[in-house]
Each structure stands twice: as structure tokens, then as C-alpha cells.
Structure 1
């Protein structure tokens, strides 16, 4: 079996590649990189791995010939234009290469809430990718992931100053979270199942969640226990989200991220969720394990 991973540099892609290369069926894996200097040494040394230079922003660099399956992640975009428009262009490039090579299955890392065409901010990038890629192959699978546990790593810089920001409010509001390694393992299993009937019609979508939801209070407690230090938790309330993201991202991108954050707060579209995906799968990694890795405990 031959599998193409595009792009191969994100952590979710790396997690999936590790599972694929360890599989007893010995699939061959082709990974696409804009910069071949970023190929991990562990992959370079593996006889079943091939690193190829290419960019999802340039369809002419994508050649999926001889691929049975394609594993795709819509890369994050932090430029001065719409991330949704960027997702559309990237998805069209991947779709064209997938169809040209007559690939049997495409597996896409998507997001909770990707079924909505409004009100979810940056998640609309995943919605757009699903719209474009829905008929890219005979078998299409959308893995709609919860909030990445590793996102809490973005607050590590403030830990040295003794505080941690959270945009998940109020303190007791729960959110489904999932670890990157569980995403990689789940997506690898979906790729390896190429050629077997899908549980539903293509495109088939399911939610991927961790073993339990977490609140900001839970996150705070875990960080304090893992570090052994007292940490101030600074809440970024809903009305402050626009300014919070504006201080980090370009204006257009900041607006998308603020709306995304608002979408899973109490009473918002993802909290109420009148259009659930249906099927749900679960990872096994607890947030504590991820935090331990983040802080090097």
C-alpha cells in the first residue's frame, strides 16, 4: 500500500506517519515538505519513507501517482487575507492531484463544527475544505477533531512569569479536547482501511474527542500539579476576545479566531449544536500527559 501525506510537517501528520511506519503491513509513505531540511531524521532513516518537495499552495508541485490513499491537513494560515479563501485554494490543489492519480481514499483532518457554513470563524476553513474535497476520491473520510490539547502550549511563555491565559470561559465551561497523538493514530487507521466499506456513504464524517471534556479550572489545576507551582489563571472574557486576538494575528485572521473562540462558549453555535455529526470516536490520552510533555516534566 502506498500512502501520501500532504503536508507532512504538521505535528498531526508526524504522529500519523509514525503509526503508519510502525504498522506490520509495511506501507510505503510519501511525505510532502516545502523545505526538505525539516524532514525528521527518524523518517529519513526509514526504508519505507520518501520525502518529496512540494507545496499545497502550488498544485503543479503535487504528484500523487501510485498512491492508494492521501492523508491531508489543511495548513493554518496567518497572512493578511481570508484563511477560508486560502483553504479553498489549497483544497482545490489537493483535489486535482487526488483525482488525477485516481486515489482510492482521502482522509482529512477537520474540526468539530465543520458541518456549519456560518458562525464558527476559523473553523470555516475546515468547512470549506470539506465542501471542496467531498468528491475527491471514491472514499472520503472527514475526522472532525475537538480542541487540540497541545494548544495549551501556546501559553508556556507566560508560565515563567507565573500566569496562564485562558479564553475558555467561564471557568466551569467544558470543552471536548483531543491529543495530537490520538489524532495521528485515528487517521492512520482510517488510511490503512482503504478499500474497505465505509460505515456510511462517502464523504463519511465522525467526531474525534478525548476521553473526557475539560474546563479551564481543570487545565489550571493540571498545570499547577505538573509544575508544582502556584499559577495565576487570567481569564480572557468573551467581550475581550477581539482585542486579545488582534494583539497576536493580522486583522482578518484575528477576527476569524475570535469568532471561532466565541462559537464554543455557552449558548453559542457549537455549544448548542443543533446539527451534530452523529458518529463519535474517542482517544485515550489524558490532558495531564500532554501537559507533562509540554512543560518537560
Structure 2
């Protein structure tokens, strides 16, 4: 079996590749990189892995010939370009490459909880656009709608040496589904390796959550357990989200992230959830404290 991951450089792509290369079925894996210098040494050393230079923004650089399945990840933008137009461009390029290859039987799209909405979700709208374009890209299509990444708490690494971290998940006892990147990788790998088996629908859509939902207080406890000391939690209330993200990102990017954050808080479209994802939910096994331990190198 031959599987392509495009792009391969995101942490989720790396996790999927790692799971694929560890699988007993020994699939061949091709990863697309804009910069081949970013190919991890562990992948280079594996004879079943092929690194290819290519860019989802450049249709001519994508050639999926011989691939049975493709994992597609819509890359985020951190500049002032139109995120929807960019998501449309890269999705159209991937779809065209899948169609041209003819060998591709299954496309797996790494998407997000909330991708069913066409408004009110900020940066998640890029996943909505990708799903709209890729729903019929291959004979078998799977959308993996992931919950909040546990690794997003890595932003706390800048302030933890000073004894505190910011949280935009309020109120502090409000719980949110979260998922670890390694569980995303293994789930996507399992979907790719199942190419050729019947799906209940096209596209087949499911949400991917962690073993349980977590609150900001849970995050605080995880940091304290791993560090072995007290850690202060500094909440960023909903009214302060625009200013918080504006201190980190360019204005347009900050606005998208603030809207995304508001979407899953009380009053937001994901909180109210009038149109939940159809079908099943899948659950990862990795607990938040394990991810915190990995992030802190403990």
C-alpha cells in the first residue's frame, strides 16, 4: 500500500507518518515538504519513506501517482492573506492532484469540530471550505473533525518560567473536548490503512475527542503535577480575546483566532451546537497530563 501525506511538516502530519511507518502492514509513505531540510531524520532513515518537494499552493508540484490514499491537512495562515481564498486554493490543488492520479481510492482530510458551519467560527472556516471542496474528491472520503488540540497549551511555555499561564477557556470550570496530536496521527493512519473497506457514507464524518473533556482548572493541575509546584492561572475573559490575540498575531489573524475562541464559549455557535456532526464520535487515549509532560520534557 502507498500513502501520501500533504503537507507532511505539521505536527499532525508527522504523527500520522510515525504511526504509518510503525504499522505491521509496512506501507510505503510519501511526504510533501516545501523545504526538504525540515524532513525529520527518523523519516529519512526509513527505507519506506520518500520525501518530495512540493507545495499545496502550487498545483504543478503535486503528483500523487501510485498512491492508494492521501492524508490532506489544510495549513493555517499567519499573515494577512484571505484565509478562505487560501483554503479554497490549496484544496482545489489537492483535489486536482487526486483526480489526476486515478490510483487514489481514499482521501482523509484532517478537519475540525465546527467545520459544518459556514459562519461564526473564525479560523475553523478554512476547514469548512476544505470540506466543501473535497467531499467528492475520491471514491472514499473521510473527514476527521478534531477537538481542541491539547498541544495548544504549549503557548504557556513562554510564561511558565515566571510561574503563570494564560487561559482563554472561561469560565474556569467550563469543560471542552481536547485531543492529543499523537492520537490524531494514529486515528488518521488507521483511516488511511483501511482504504478499500466500505464506509457508511461519502463523505464519512466523525468527531475525534480525547478520553474526556478538560477545564482550565484541569490544565492548571496538569502543569502543577508535572512541574511539582504551584502555577498561577490568569484567565482572559471573552471581552478581552481580541486584545489578547492582537498582542500575538497580525490584526486579521488575531480577529480569526478571537472569533474561533468565542465560538466554543457560552453564546458561541459551537457552544449552542444546533447542528452537531452527524454520526459517531471517536476517542483518543492520551490524557492531558501526558501531553504536558511531553511539552515540558519531563
Secondary structure of 2:138's counterpart equals coil
Show the 5 A alignment for 1:1-297. 1-102=1-102, 103-198=104-199, 200-278=200-278, 279-297=280-298
Find the aligned partners of 1:225 and 1:17 in 2 and give their Cα distance: 31
Report if the CA contact (8 A) 1:121-1:255 is conserved: yes
Secondary structure of 1:270's counterpart equals helix
Find the aligned partners of 2:123 and 2:255 in 1 and give their Cα distance: 9
Secondary structure of 1:262's counterpart equals helix
Secondary structure of 1:108's counterpart equals strand
Report if the CA contact (8 A) 1:172-1:217 is conserved: yes
Find the aligned partners of 1:229 and 1:158 in 2 and give their Cα distance: 14
Find the aligned partners of 1:105 and 1:282 in 2 and give their Cα distance: 22
CA-CA distance at 1:267 after TM superposition: 2.7
Report if the CA contact (8 A) 1:175-1:214 is conserved: yes
CA-CA distance at 1:287 after TM superposition: 0.2
Find the aligned partners of 2:225 and 2:115 in 1 and give their Cα distance: 34
Secondary structure of 1:84's counterpart equals helix
Please give the root-mean-square deviation of Cα atoms over the aligned residues, in Å: 0.8
- In the alignment, structure 1 segments of 5+ residues that lack a partner are none
CA-CA distance at 1:84 after TM superposition: 1.9
* Alpha-carbon displacement from aligned partner over 1:214-247 (angstroms, at most 9, x marks no partner): 0001111111121112211111000000111111
Extract structure 1 runs of 4+ deviating beyond 2 A: none
Report if the CA contact (8 A) 1:82-1:253 is conserved: no
Report if the CA contact (8 A) 1:115-1:277 is conserved: yes
CA-CA distance at 1:251 after TM superposition: 1.2
CA-CA distance at 1:149 after TM superposition: 0.3
* Alpha-carbon displacement from aligned partner over 1:198-221 (angstroms, at most 9, x marks no partner): 1x2211110000000000011111
